[in-house]
């Protein structure tokens, strides 16, 4: 049986009378590119926030690397790179300077900056200020930030949101290449089925907080026939 990098058991989050996530049992196997699909407001971002221990579940548990996130937060988060909603950066600093801040916080070798910039294809713009970047370049910088420090799991929340077709294609090609280049397991959320189909090999579909389907892309297509 494949090792599970993410496993949730009965994960539930209520906001007052609203149940944003209901009894969720996710299984993300090591080495997969897992597409977490659902319309806006389906519970994707809330689930991701619970996985990262940014939001406390009402009930249920989230296990990452076979350990419960709430009990082993620091140890687990060291292995995860995440981009939730819009990436944060300092607009007046260059791409390199933004990554230098993260490098210092994580106490990494300087070469990690150039490595991350190379992966996201921003090396030639590393000395350009971020305020002069296109939205697609800013998203790629956000992914570079998530990559810093040899992460074993990358969680990318709607990384193609707001991009034009060219930007979407660039980000898609980058994400597809990440498991092979970095060796990381990747979870990407999106509300666009056609995009997830072009990237993911495993899919979880969430609607109104309920997990409607979980399995391979082939299994999903068979279900649709």
User: How much of the chain, in percent, has pLDDT values that exceed 70?
Assistant: 98
pLDDT score at 225: 60
How many other CB atoms are there within 10 angstroms of residue 224's CB atom? 6
User: How much of the chain, in percent, has pLDDT values that exceed 90?
Assistant: 83
pLDDT score at 81: 94
Cα 88 from Cα 138, distance rounded (Å): 9
Split at pLDDT 50, 70, 90, the class of 87 is confident
SS3 per residue for the chain:
CCCEEEEEEEEEEEECCEEEEEEECCEEECCCEEEEECCCCCCHHHHHHHHCCCCCCCEEEEEECCEECCCCHHHHHCCEEEECCCCCCCCCCEHHHHHHHHHHHHCCCCHHHHHHHHHCCCHHHCCCEHHHCCHHHHHHHHHHHHHCCCCCEEEEECCCCCCCHHHHHHHHHHHHHHHHHHCCEEEEEECCHHHHHHHCCEEEEEECCEEEEEEEHHHHHHHHC
pLDDT above 80 (res 166): yes
pLDDT above 80 (res 163): yes
pLDDT above 80 (res 86): no
Q: What φ, ψ does residue 215 adopt, rounded to 5°? A: 165, -165
Residues with Cβ within 8 Å of residue 58, at least 6 apart in sequence: 12, 13, 14
Tens digits of per-residue pLDDT, 93-119?
999 999 999 999 889 999 999 999 999
Across residues 32-39, what is the average pLDDT?
96
pLDDT above 70 (res 1): no
pLDDT above 70 (res 157): yes
Terminal-residue alpha carbon distance, the chain: 28
pLDDT score at 200: 94
Split at pLDDT 50, 70, 90, the class of 150 is confident
Across residues 137-159, what is the average pLDDT?
93
Split at pLDDT 50, 70, 90, the class of 162 is confident
Split at pLDDT 50, 70, 90, the class of 128 is very high
Per-chain mean pLDDT for the chain: 93
């Amino acid at each position: 049986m494949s090792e599970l990098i993410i496993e949730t058991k009965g994960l539930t989050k209520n906001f007052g009378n609203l149940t944003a996530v209901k009894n969720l049992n996710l299984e993300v196997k090591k080495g997969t590119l897992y597409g977490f699909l659902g319309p806006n407001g389906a519970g994707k971002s809330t689930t991701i926030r619970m996985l990262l221990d940014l939001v406390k579940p009402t009930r249920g548990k989230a296990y990452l690397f076979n350990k419960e996130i709430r009990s082993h937060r620091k140890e687990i988060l060291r292995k995860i790179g995440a981009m939730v909603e819009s990436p944060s950066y300092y607009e007046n600093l260059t791409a390199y300077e933004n990554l230098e801040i993260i490098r210092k916080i994580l106490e990494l070798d300087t070469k990690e900056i150039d490595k991350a910039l190379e992966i996201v294809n921003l090396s030639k713009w590393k000395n350009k200020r971020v305020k002069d970047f296109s939205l697609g370049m800013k998203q790629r910088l956000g992914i570079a930030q998530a990559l810093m420090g040899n992460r074993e799991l990358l969680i990318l929340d709607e990384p193609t949101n707001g991009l034009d077709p060219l930007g979407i294609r660039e980000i898609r090609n980058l994400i597809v290449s990440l498991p092979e280049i970095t060796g990381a397991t990747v979870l990407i959320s999106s509300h666009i089925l056609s995009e997830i189909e072009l990237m993911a090999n495993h899919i979880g579909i969430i609607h109104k907080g309920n997990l409607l389907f979980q399995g391979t892309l082939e299994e999903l297509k068979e279900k649709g026939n």
